Amino acid sequence: MASVSNLDSFVQRTQALPEPKATSQEIRDRGSTFVANIFSASTPEEAKAHVQYLRNVTHASRRATHEISAYRCMVLKPGKTGLTGPDDFELKTGHDDDGEQWAGSRVLKAMESQAVLDAVVIVSRWLVSSFSCWHAHLPYGGIMLGSARFTHIETCTTEVCREFKNKQELEECIAMLLTLDDILKQLRDELALLSDPPALNEDDTASPSQPPKLKSPDYKSWTEADLPTARRIVNSQRESNSKC
């Protein structure tokens, strides 16, 4: 039994833990605190698992009063393979108020406005304890915010959705740049051979030409702040390749 226990511990330690793609700034208002997290999620089941992880693990020592969530996932239709095009997929959406009436639909609406897909947003709301609040007669022991709470929820959601989209675009730009760099290198090598034919050896065999090596940019260190630069370089590389 000890070996099984050790194996379970090893497996648990080596599993990748869910990491949010973005976390919003805290919004504090009259005893309430709002924070949003966004996770990648390709299925509704994965989205719900992230909600449970945030609630039971990340926030285990500081339980939120509400964990409001919504997801949007593109999933394969039953019997489809995904090889015949976009019609093989369908959009699955869902939301959970977690006791904060109508809040989940506000999160989903904000996600839709930002066109976020394959993600789940969880807005956590903490309220002050009734033991430390003058308004102990109010629900949760906090001051009722009215419609302002929906504004805070939507603000947090929009913030993480925008960062999520920027990170996605940056990843796409880097992938495109790596491809364009390879194409450009190949074209430069071909141009070097055409403009500077290899010299012949004494036995009339050609010596291979060695074009100068160019240092590849370090794209791994790029962040969302480098997104405008990435866009410019992608456009520049495309223009260079089209002229070759």
Confidence of residue 14 (pLDDT cuts 50, 70, 90): low
**Using CA atoms, how far apart are residues 13 and 239, in angstroms rounded to an integer?**
47
pLDDT of residue 47: 98
Q: What is the pTM of this model?
A: 0.72
pLDDT of residue 81: 86
| DSSP-derived secondary structure letter, 16 | P
Name 72's bridge partners.
93, 119
The model's pLDDT over 181-193, given as tens digits with 9 standing for 90+, comes to 777 778 777 777 7
For residue 178, CA distances in Å to 75, 169, 174, 189, 207 come to: 28, 14, 6, 17, 30
According to the CATH classification, is domain 17-166 in 3.40.190.10?
no
Name 125's bridge partners.
34, 66
Q: Would you state the structure tokens that stand for residue 231, as one six-digit string?
A: 């866009």
The model's pLDDT over 198-232, given as tens digits with 9 standing for 90+, comes to 665 565 555 555 555 556 677 777 776 776 776 77
pLDDT of residue 143: 73
Grouping H, G, I as helix, E, B as strand and the rest as coil, residue 198 is coil
Q: Are strands 89-96 and 27-29 parallel, antiparallel or unpaired?
A: unpaired
Please say if the pLDDT value at position 84 is more than 80: yes
Confidence of residue 10 (pLDDT cuts 50, 70, 90): very low
Q: Where does CATH 3.30.230.30 sit in the chain?
A: 17-166
pLDDT of residue 52: 97
Please say if the pLDDT value at position 15 is more than 50: yes
The model's pLDDT over 137-182, given as tens digits with 9 standing for 90+, comes to 444 556 778 889 999 999 999 999 999 999 988 888 888 888 877 7
Q: What is the mean pLDDT of residues 45-62?
A: 96
**Using CA atoms, how far apart are residues 230 and 223, in angstroms rounded to an integer?**
10
Q: If we measure between CA atoms, which residue out of 65, 6, 61 comes closest to residue 33?
A: 65
